[in-house]
Structure 1
């Protein structure tokens, strides 16, 4: 029998008000000078000032140079801010972009070279050899689940191609998952990030890789998202629904250590070529790709339909996804988001080169990706 290795080490503080425990946690860890890594838009909102009010007794600085899809230059600027503050710890505060940048700011704060030299597929990849600064994560969106992940996705500044730094050392020492931090998300962002969380759970479950622990988490994460995503979008102040989506987001990110699939390969290409929001890109591609995947694993679609409370078995799952998207305001296709037909060859090229589709339940060719993008236009 093949040997497998599993790890679930992240400490999570979950619930309304969890953010108020960060200062005590840092003090107990011997940290006094944290650097908050956040995005430009969030830094201007009252939510960050309110969070900082709970950090009395700490010498806090803020790096708010994250915007759009995170880039390598943002990471290097954050590392410089860490050194200038003489920081001893990092607080990632924001959505997936801010949290991904925060993880590798910690790497570059104590290592030489450039962040892209640490991506997993660099021909002379540099190892992470020094202990990283103490890092805690506070998600303000419910989508990527980056707060519990052991990887960071950053784009090359010139090509916009997404690159991945992967190491268990990137894991947060503690996650403070507070649904109150997500109450200010507008409906469109709630919808897009919620579809990101749902896609993570669904694709990780459909992956043929062996990981029963992740399968169980993915199915439950799907069930939780299915029951609460509509409510979170329609009733933004519903704290229970916000908490459900925050939990589903973390569960999806834990589950996808099992790997993902062709939906994400397409979404990564759309992010690189068209700068499309990652969650929205997943939402625009998921039903097209999963309809094609159905024949490979119909029994798994039966399970997905079951946890979503659908009658009719696995064949009901993709139509349900399409209706869900319509209910939360995600309609139309790629063309309505500015994707042009002449961009399809580049999209196909990047999707085919993306590692995610290697664990799709059906092998994908360039012709398959071309059909996916054509159908989603």
Structure 2
């Protein structure tokens, strides 16, 4: 048997009110001048002002230049804000985009070059050679699980291609996962981000890579999301449902260090070409891709159906997914979201080049991607 290396190091403070512990944590770490990285929309909402009220005694600056899919220019602007404030730490506050930017603001504030030069696939990738500023994360959505991830997905401003900076050094020193921070999410955002969390758990479990620890986490994450997502959409202040989805989101992000699959390759292409929200893109593709994957790993689909509480075995899992999507308001196909046939060649090109489908349970060629996109239209 080959030797496989595992690591689950992130410290997590989980539960209602966890946000009130951030100031004490930073002071104990010797930090006094944090830069809060968040997105434009969130910065204008009462939830951020309320959180800032728990940071008394700290000299806090706010960088709210994140919007849409995170861009390299946003990271560089955040790094400039860090230096201008003389910051000693970073607070990531927001959804996946804000947290992905926050993870690497400290990197670019202390290291030379452009953020994309640290992407794992850069031809002359720069190493991380110095300690990074103290970084803590507070998720306000339950989808990407970026708060516990060791990667940051940043888009090239010119091409919109998503690039990945991957290093354990960009992990948060502590996560404050407070479900009350997700109460204000609109139902459509709750649905899209929730489907993102579910997709992470499902695809990581279906990956043929060897990682039983992740398999166990992914199955439990699937079970939790299956019981909680529709309730979180219908009842936005249901603390149990919001807590469940926040936990499922983190579990999916921990599990997908095992790797993902073709759903994510399609979603990355849709984000690049059509600027589609990542969670929504996953939701629009998951049933089409998984219906194609069933024959490759039927026993795994049986297990997914079991943990999701779906009767009828693995063959019933994809129909259940379609019913769940409808129940949370995600209806229609790609065409209803503005995707056109003229974009198919570029979508296929990006998806085929994407690394995620290399661990899909069924090998996926360019012609397969073209067929899947057409079926999802």
TM range (shorter): over 0.9
- Give distance in 1, aligned partners of 2:54 and 2:12: 19
Task: Tell me, in whole angstroms, the C-alpha distance in 1 between the residues paired with 2:300 and 2:10.
Answer: 28
Give the CA deviation at 1:310: 1.2
Q: Deviation at 1:110?
A: 0.4
Distance (whole Å) between structure 2 residues aligned to residue 245 and residue 160 of structure 1: 29
Q: What residue number does 1:213 align with? A: 213
Q: Which residue of 2 aligns with 1:372?
A: 372
Superposition map of 1:51-70 within 5 A = 51-70=51-70
Q: Does 1:46 align with 2:32?
A: no
Q: How many residues align?
A: 377
Name the counterpart of 1:167: 167
Give the Cα–Cα distance (whole angstroms) in 2 for the partners of residues 185 and 240 of structure 1.
15
Runs of 4+ in 1 over 6 A off after TM superposition: none
1:103 and 1:56 map into 2 onto residues whose CA distance is 23
Counterpart in the other structure of 1:198: 198
Where structure 2 has 5 or more consecutive residues not aligned to the other structure, the ranges are: none
Instruction: State the match for 2:225 in structure 1.
Output: 225
Name 2:188's counterpart in structure 1.
Answer: 188
Deviation at 1:288, TM superposition (A): 0.3
Deviation digits for residues 322-367 of structure 1, max 9, x if unmatched?
A: 0000000000000000001100000000000000000000000000
Match of 1:79 in 2: 79
Shift of 1:320: 0.2
| Cα displacement (A) at 1:237 | 1.1
For 1:362, the equivalent position in structure 2 comes to 362
CA deviation string 1:230-285 (max 9, x = no partner): 00001111011000000000000000000000000000000000000000000000
SS of structure 2 residue aligned to 1:215:
helix
Q: CA-atom RMSD, angstroms?
A: 0.3
Q: What is the DSSP-based 3-state SS (H/G/I as helix, E as strand, rest coil) of the residue aligned with 2:165? A: strand
The CA deviation string for residues 281-318 of structure 1, in whole angstroms up to 9 with x for no partner, is: 00000000000000010000000000011111100100
Aligned to 1:275: 275
Unpaired runs of at least 5, structure 1? none
| Separation in structure 2 between the aligned mates of residue 43 and residue 172 of structure 1, nearest angstrom | 21
Q: CA deviation at 1:106?
A: 1.2
State the distance in 2 between where 1:140 and 1:368 align. 36
- 1:1-377 paired onto structure 2 within 5 Å: 1-377=1-377
TM-score by length of structure 1 reads 1.00
- 1:99-140 deviation line (CA, Å, top 9, x unaligned): 000011011010001101000000000001110000000000
Deviation at 1:12, TM superposition (A): 0.2
Aligned equivalents of 1:226, 1:116: Cα separation in 2: 36
Whole-Å separation in 1 of the counterparts to 2:87 and 2:48: 19
Aligned mates of 1:272, 1:179 — CA distance in 2: 30
